[in-house]
Structure 1
Amino acid sequence: MKSIKKSLVSIAVGALTTAATFGVSAEELNRSNISEKFQSLTPFEVVAVENSPADSLYQVVTTQGVFYMTKDGEHIVSGALHEAAPGLPNLTQDRIAQLGADKINDLKDSFVTFEAENQKHEIVVFYDTTCPYCHRMHKELDELLESGVTVHYAGWPREGLVDRRNPGTDAMPNPSASYSELMGIFCDENPREMLDANADGARVKPGACPNKIDEHYALGEFLGVRGTPAVFSVDGQQVSPGYSPASAILQRLQGDQ
């Protein structure tokens, strides 16, 4: 009997030592289960399961935004979580902005950038070649640059990335016409000149090259872009959901200081 008890104690100690060694906790296992269940119920890819500002909820970060799930995994909440304080701060939007800022920083070198000499602000503009309001906004670029606003253009094909009428295969999808035209800008030796010409009414010859326009598009979807030219600050905060005159953009940027 003593031998059996001794063996059981050895097994228990070994199990605890293994758990401690690998750092596995009940909470981590539960988060893994939450992630699996969420992905089984929605079409969204889970990036992370975090503690949320509300103790009873997990914060589920996906490629399409932030959701919440009760810790027992029985309920999903889609929508904004507000702090019960004056002004009702939008905690969901704050988290999206934080994550968006990281993504913007990672992608900065892939944008078409017009840099202000005396930079005071930076904005990201989601641009499509066939968007007349994108062209209109670009005509006001000089006013933004002279006011110290550096403008980063991200490609955001309004038709999506894949040709809906002739999508091709998963291994070799056919790009949409607007994606092909955006590649004509981003793949050009002088992308700023090509964007200038497009804003002046020139059609862009479709291009093809390794690029990060698909990541620009994913960034826009994560931030909640619904049309072009959506404007965001580099810290992930929305400046304008669509076209706004340069004077209005400047006023909003200065108001955030």
Structure 2
Amino acid sequence: MKKAALVATLGSLSMLACAQNDAPATPKQAAAAPAAAAAPAPKAGSADARAIEAVRKLNPQVRVEHVAAAPLPGFRELVVGGQTLYVSDDGQYLLQGSLYDLRQQKDLSDATLANLRKRLLAEVPKSERIVFAPANPRYTVSVFTDVECGYCRKLHNDIAEYNKLGIAVEYLAFPRMGPASEDFRIMEAVWCSNDRNKALTDSKNGKKPQATRCNNPVMAHWNLGRRVGLQGTPMIIAENGVAAPGYLSPAQLKQWLDTVLAGQ
């Protein structure tokens, strides 16, 4: 049983490493990609360093986005490939899963991921997003989208309704089939179009844009989606980094934003 659990952990970390190292960007894509900074190297011999070393013993290729003292005494908190891990200060024990504070009624693992998402998304300029916004938005969400995704199309069909409710939608690309797919090439063509908003709308309605190549951020967005823990599209992220539980209708999204951004 213990051996099976260790194998599962190894497999999970292996997939996370693959997610971070798959499909190197072409020179044109790399030119558009922002520099991806992992957590700075901690002092040798520190609890942070021991935690990173422990994780890398399971898989040397994992990228650690964040390491700090965990809310759980005696443990360090790490973010690897969009997952929060907890490693004992001596580097002997590793926990996977959500850490929940019963007193505060709060998922502390989600809070850590939200802070990471907020930081990483702040590095993506508006010029690299496709924006559908009302004149004076009350809320702005970042949405990882795929032109072939049914719920992504459903969301986009109602884009005017989101805007009427004061919600600005800023799209990032996440072609789920990966860099070698036709889906990926379509999304590159969308981002290379002279009118990206129209090209995105057309592509979601089954009309492929003219194949065009340019410096584009699609690969950078795809890698970013994996780093922030994307598990499906559309992934909707509020300004504070909190991710919605999947697709939400215009009214549902407004209600959700009222809740997660209350007092902010």
Task: Choose 1 or 2 for highest CA Rg.
Answer: 1
Aligned residue among 82, 93, 114 for 2:132:
114
- Give the AA of the match of 2:98: A
**Residue 151 (structure 2) aligns with:** 133
1:164-183 matched pairs, under 5 angstroms:
176-183=181-188
Change (3 A) 1:208 1:33: farther
Q: Once the 2 structures are TM-superposed, how far is the Cα of residue 224 of structure 1 from its aligned partner?
A: 2.7
User: Are residue 227 (structure 1) and residue 227 (structure 2) matched?
Assistant: no
Q: Once the 2 structures are TM-superposed, how far is the Cα of residue 127 of structure 1 from its aligned partner?
A: 0.9
Alpha-carbon separation, structure 1, partners of 2:176 and 2:104: 37
Alpha-carbon separation, structure 2, partners of 1:191 and 1:235: 26
User: Are residue 32 (structure 1) and residue 49 (structure 2) matched?
Assistant: yes
1:55-70 matched pairs, under 5 angstroms:
55-70=73-88
Alpha-carbon separation, structure 2, partners of 1:57 and 1:34: 9
1:147-186 matched pairs, under 5 angstroms:
147-161=165-179, 163=180, 176-186=181-191
- Give the AA of the match of 1:191: R
**Residue 201 (structure 1) aligns with:** 206
**Residue 70 (structure 2) aligns with:** 52
Alpha-carbon separation, structure 1, partners of 2:107 and 2:259: 18
Q: Once the 2 structures are TM-superposed, how far is the Cα of residue 107 of structure 1 from its aligned partner?
A: 0.9
Q: Once the 2 structures are TM-superposed, how far is the Cα of residue 130 of structure 1 from its aligned partner?
A: 1.2
In the superposition, the TM-score normalised over structure 1's length comes to 0.77
**Residue 245 (structure 1) aligns with:** 249
Alpha-carbon separation, structure 2, partners of 1:179 and 1:232: 22
Aligned residue among 87, 101, 118 for 2:118:
101
Unaligned stretches of 5+ in structure 1? 1-23, 164-175
SS in 1 for 2:121: helix
**Residue 220 (structure 2) aligns with:** 215
Alpha-carbon separation, structure 1, partners of 2:76 and 2:213: 41
Q: Is residue 147–residue 203 contact of structure 2 (8 Å, CA) maintained in 1? A: yes
In the superposition, the TM-score normalised over structure 2's length comes to 0.75
Q: Is residue 100–residue 219 contact of structure 1 (8 Å, CA) maintained in 2? A: no
Alpha-carbon separation, structure 2, partners of 1:37 and 1:214: 30
Q: Is residue 50–residue 90 contact of structure 2 (8 Å, CA) maintained in 1? A: no
- Give the AA of the match of 1:64: G
Q: Aligned residues: percent identity?
A: 22
Number of aligned pairs? 218
SS in 1 for 2:100: coil
RMSD: 2.1
